[in-house]
Each structure stands twice: as structure tokens, then as C-alpha cells.
Structure 1
């Protein structure tokens, strides 16, 4: 024989008092406690326990004067270090640097030494027939 349970009408929500909510929140904040396990024990959804914890932390759900915190949480400052200023870039000496251009036909042109921006711009414009790339 099989037993069938028929539910008539919507199931009513369980209304919990602030004291009950706080007791559940305190239990979930104990060291090593799991929100999921605490929620299962009290037959509530874990999201509800999380919402109650947030309310307790901000003082919306409170019986004491101070907002609640996890017992093993510590508040502190992170160490900060100040990076040294970057060294200014130095202008290259006249003897360093090289530009090498390889043409489609296989020929190469190599320019060594310092090249000013105007000369480089003129070379690039001549090689590209003035078209921007």
C-alpha cells in the first residue's frame, strides 16, 4: 500500500523573530562553521542565512550596539611600499643605434648612428610614396 500526501493551498512561510535570526547568524559566524550546514540544521535556505549575516554586519539586524563580525576575522592594514622614482630616459649617444630596411627586391639599406626624427620621417615617406601605413 502506498501513502500519498496531498498539500492543500500554499505552504506558509515560517516567520522567524529577530532573536532567532541572530542566533542562526551567530552560529554561522562561529569558527569553522559552514553557512550551508547551519542553514540545513535550521531548515532555511543558505541565501537567507547570508542575507541575515549581511543585515547583522550592517546593523539592520541587531540586538547589540555593534555590528557582528566573524570571530576569527581580524581587521588590519596591508603593508605598503613606495616604489623608487623612475630614472629619466637618457638621449642616445651619436654612435649607437641602427636602422635596417629590406626592400621587396631583396636589397638592404643599413643606417648606423644617430638619426634625427625629421630624417627618419623623410626616409619612411620616400619608401612608402608618402602613403601612411
Structure 2
């Protein structure tokens, strides 16, 4: 990533972090940066999005035969799959009366970048 790209990413992160401040006006922040408010919301969504689940690693399996089921025991249906828990909201106290609220399964790399920007303020 070149220096110009790095600066653009830092600027996006700085603007997104500003929108997460208490009483922040996304419209005012977008206007002061010379961008449309929808662009700033898009950046915020991109930086705070939930990580996509990783692709499972395929493992070779060898079938060696099956055992007959005992005649006296009834066949039990497989257990119902557990539904995925909903992500909960996590509040991070930043000090100075500032709080950051994110989903519990937030992209940790994006969150770390945002926290770095806020820490430098």
C-alpha cells in the first residue's frame, strides 16, 4: 500500500472515529470534510462491519465401513442444530465521558484502527 493510500485510509478512519463521538453530527462531519453524508455512512459500515466467517479447511476422510445398529435400540434423530446467537452490543468506555458501542462480533482489526485514531486525539 502506497503512502497516498495509507493517508486516505487514515483519513477515512479519522472521519469514522469522529462520527462515533458522543453528540457527533455525521452531516456536519461530512460537510466539513467535503464529502456526501452517504459516503461517510458507507465508510463507517465498511470499517465497523462484522468479519466474514473464514472458509473451513477441508480434511481428507477415509470410510472404513459401518457398524450395524443394535436391533433393540430405536434410531434417534440427530440433535437439532443450535441457532447462532445474535451479536450483542458492547460498550467500550474511552474515558473523558466518551463511549464506543460496537457489535460483539465486530471486525477486530477495524476496531483496533478506530481505537488507535481515537487514542491519538
* Interval containing the TM-score (normalised by the shorter chain): 0.3 to 0.5
RCO higher in 1 or 2 (8 Å CA, sep ≥ 6)? 2
- The TM-score, its normalising length taken from structure 2, stands at 0.37
Which structure has more helix as a fraction of its residues? 2
> Larger Rg: 1 or 2?
1
